[in-house]
Amino acid sequence: MDLTTCPECGNAAEIVWRDVLESTDGPTEHAKVVCVDRHWFLMPVASLASPRLPARGGRHVSTDVPGRDAPR
């Protein structure tokens, strides 16, 4: 199961389909994304966001905070 975030609401979303579609700039890989709130999108794979990682206790944390996991 490939996961990403919904471009509309930010909730968890699953990539349910991938394929290469023709465009005026040449072939481009696209994906169909469906979120838990049933929003769906057909978008270029290059536009997909990385999923947020759940921390212990079920909270979501940002992976780009420097020093967050530094030893004390």
**CB 35, CB 8: distance < 8 Å:** yes
Mean pLDDT for all residues in the chain: 80
Structure token digits, residue 8: 């509309």
- What is the C-alpha to C-alpha distance for residues 17 and 26, in angstroms, rounded to an integer? 20
The 10s digit of each residue's pLDDT in 11-45 is 999 999 999 999 999 999 999 999 999 999 999 99
- What is the C-alpha to C-alpha distance for residues 28 and 18, in angstroms, rounded to an integer? 11
Mean pLDDT within 52-70: 50
In order of their start, the domains of the chain are 2-50 (2.40.10)
DSSP class per residue in 9-55: T--EEEEEEEEEE--TTS-EEEEEEEETT--EEEEEGGGPPPPPEEP
